[in-house]
């Protein structure tokens, strides 16, 4: 009798947790372990904008993801960028991204769930790098990442690390690799039911360490460095539709040489699960 009661309580707790999370949550800027159900499709139009000194960029993206299994998803991101370096402007297709994520660990508890996943991304050399300013990096780059997430009825937390491998461009510049670290907390102030709109407030700490680029074995002075951002955000869902948005505010900037500090970055994503 005790076993039946315990199992029933666990099932009830998980159903209650699921009812308040119409779409599984991930951070706005960081990496989360969320994957789709088998055969599921996610369509996510999004807008990224940033300002760094005289340089401004707005990127419109369409991300499409498919659930290969309940733990493995893959997809593509199609970006279109508008760049302004203070003197010249350009727009066009930017570098197309191909990505995959595999959830290798899941721990269901009464009213909560912990998960962990690995991800890989290929950033193809498809943007027009002959424009001024360029719309792509001029190389094919890769990213590997590891992420952990905890989700309950009220509280959330995530942590992730990503390593970006940058290649050498046509000018012979070996672009420095980058490491990204993310620590995120979230809170749902008011638990809601599945048919009701649901809001989770997020606060992220995002760090970036860029290694120096080099040319013919010589380091380039005005490349690489460290930045940290505090990033408030929101995740709003209703059934199979979600909106997440946030802004990155720089709190530490130690860029090498004469690089301009980042003024801000902002992002809004519309997610639709089919």
- Rounded to two decimals, the pTM is 0.90
CA 159 – CA 61 distance, rounded (Å): 25
Residue 23 pLDDT grade (very low, low, confident, very high; cuts 50, 70, 90) = low
pLDDT tens digits for range 178-203: 999 999 999 999 988 878 899 999 99
* Structural domains present in the chain: 2-273 (2.40.160.40)
* Measured CA angle at 212 (ends 209, 216), to 5 deg: 155
Categorize the per-residue pLDDT at 163 as very low, low, confident or very high, splitting at 50, 70 and 90: very high
State yes or no: pLDDT of 96 exceeds 80. yes
How many other β-carbons are positioned within 10 Å of the β-carbon of residue 225? Answer: 18
Per-residue pLDDT reduced to its tens digit, 237-272: 998 999 999 999 999 999 999 999 999 999 999 999
Q: Please indicate whether residue 195 or residue 15 has the higher confidence score (pLDDT).
A: 195
């Amino acid at each position: 009798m005790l076993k039946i009661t315990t199992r029933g309580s666990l099932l009830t707790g998980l159903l209650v947790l699921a009812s308040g999370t119409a779409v599984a949550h991930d951070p706005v800027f960081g990496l989360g372990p969320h994957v789709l159900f088998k055969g599921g499709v996610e369509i996510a139009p999004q807008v990224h904008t940033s300002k760094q000194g005289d340089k401004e960029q707005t990127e419109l993206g369409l991300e499409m993801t498919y659930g290969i299994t309940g733990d493995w998803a893959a997809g593509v991101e199609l970006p279109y960028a508008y760049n302004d370096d203070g003197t010249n402007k350009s727009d066009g297709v930017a570098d197309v991204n191909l990505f995959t994520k595999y959830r290798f660990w899941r721990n269901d508890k009464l009213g909560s769930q912990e998960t962990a996943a690995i991800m890989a991304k290929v950033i193809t050399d498809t943007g027009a790098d002959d424009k001024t300013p360029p719309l792509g990096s001029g190389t094919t780059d890769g990213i590997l990442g590891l992420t952990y997430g905890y989700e309950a009825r009220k509280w959330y937390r995530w942590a992730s690390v990503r390593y970006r491998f940058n290649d050498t461009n046509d000018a012979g510049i070996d672009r420095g690799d980058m490491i990204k670290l993310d620590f995120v907390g979230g809170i749902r102030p008011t638990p809601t039911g599945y048919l009701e709109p649901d809001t989770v407030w997020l606060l992220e700490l995002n760090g970036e360490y860029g290694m120096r680029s080099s040319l013919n074995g010589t380091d380039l002075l005005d490349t690489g460095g460290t930045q940290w951002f505090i990033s408030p955000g929101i995740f709003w869902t209703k059934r199979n539709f979600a909106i997440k948005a946030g802004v990155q505010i720089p709190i530490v900037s130690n860029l090498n040489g004469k690089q301009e500090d980042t003024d801000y970055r902002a992002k809004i994503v519309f997610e639709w699960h089919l």
